[in-house]
Amino acid sequence: MSDSFISKLLELQKHIYDCCVEEDSCHLFGFEAYPRISFTKIGNLYEINYFGEGANYTPNINVNDEEAFMNYGFSTLCDLISENDSKIISLNFDAPDKGANGLRPWYFDGLLQANKFDNLVRFTVKRTDPAAHNLVTIDYHEKGMIAKLVAKMPALEHLELPSAPNKTFFDIDLLELTELILHAGSEHQNFIRHLADATNLSNLMVLDYADTFDYAETTPFDDYKSLFSSNFFSKYFLFTLRDPRLTQANLKELLNLKEIQLLHLPWFYGSFVD
């Protein structure tokens, strides 16, 4: 990564700070709303971490725009990342538990401007904590965005996401992917059923899957049976299943179909007590 790129990242950090101080946003919104960017050199490549709001992407945004405080840091970072795609080994995104109407969406349209992330091995967007007030999603409705992103990440080994991808995800060559951490988010999009027929994930050895919090829309047990009856799992596969409904009898039935390392964690969304 060139010195000019590092200079731009440092300049971005300063602009974010200046914008917050000028708007007195640390007092108005609290420290958690303060966007933060950090980066670490790993060999000749870089890991980039972003903490802050990511709901809106505005290409080539000007720091003096009226809504620059909320959009400038994330939008400008996406532009810088896309312009220097081949020099990045890890991208990690997280945000405070703040949102509108109970949702906290991420819009990664800016990353789609990249040519290809040839050296990116880790891409994480922190999933929803069961105690959170807001459900984290990729867009409000995923609509194939995940497939568009990972299509630009041919070396990807670790992927963590707060939304289940749709069927187009299984058309992307992901043969380097070894670990997938996924929360179904607002809709599971038949992920488990599609996984049973997947041919693009032959090196995957670890799957951590958290089902949707909507009890009416949880993954059907028959979908899990299809997965365990398929040739997808190898003997040493580790499957962590975070699910609110499966019984011990269900789990034993699955293991009778395929003997793997299966860790079941009850997964419930919290609720306030009146």
pLDDT digits (tens, 9 = 90+) for 58-83: 777 776 665 565 677 888 899 999 99
* CA–CA dist 242, 238 (Å, integer): 13
Closest by Cα among 54, 189, 63 to 109:
54
Domain residues for the domain of 150 are: 3-217
113-124 mean pLDDT: 97
Whether 227 is in a domain gets the answer no
pLDDT at 215: 65
**Lowest pLDDT segment from 22-26, 75-79, 228-232:** 22-26
Gap between the Cα atoms of 239 and 204, Å rounded: 10
Question: Is 241 within the bounds of a domain?
Answer: no
Instruction: Report yes or no on 96 lying in a domain.
Output: yes
The answer to whether residues 71 and 56 touch, using CB atoms and an 8 Å cutoff, is yes
Is residue 15 domain-resident?
yes
What does the DSSP assignment read for the chain? Answer: --HHHHHHHHHHHHHHHHHHHHHTHHHHH-GGGS-EEEEEEETTEEEEEEES--S---TT--TTSTTHHHHHHHHHHHHHHHHTGGGEEEEEEE--S--BTTEEEE--GGGGGSS--TT--EEEEPPPPTT-SSEEEESSS-TTHHHHHHTT-TT--EEEESS---GGGGGS--TT--EEEEE-TT--TTHHHHHHT--S-TT--EEEEE--S-GGGSPPHHHHHHHHHSS---TT-EEEEEESS--HHHHHHHHHH---EEEEEE--------
Name the pairing type of β-strands 261-266 and 238-243: parallel
Task: Average the pLDDT over 19-27 and give the result.
Answer: 57
CA angle 116, 122, 124 (to 5 degrees): 105
Residues forming beta bridges with residue 46, ordered by sequence position: 41, 88
Top-confidence residue, 36 or 64: 36
pLDDT band at 30; cut points 50, 70, 90: low
The per-residue pLDDT for 63 is: 66
Average pLDDT, the chain: 88
In the chain, what is the greatest distance between 2 CA atoms, to the nearest angstrom? 62
- Give the per-residue pLDDT at 111: 96
Q: Is the pLDDT of residue 200 over 70?
A: yes
Mean pLDDT for the stretch of residues 159-176: 96
Q: Is residue 231 part of a domain?
A: no
Structural domain includes residue 64: yes
Q: How many separate domains does the chain show?
A: 1
Q: How far, in Å, CA of 50 to CA of 77, rounded?
A: 9
Report if residue 168 sits inside a domain: yes
| Residue 16 or 141, more confident | 141
Rounded Cα–Cα distance for residues 5 and 45 (Å): 12
- Classify residue 248: in a domain, yes or no: no
Q: Would you state the structure tokens that stand for residue 257, as one six-digit string?
A: 């179909």
pLDDT at 1: 42
**Least confident stretch, 7-11, 58-62, 249-253:** 58-62
Tokens of 33: 């709303």
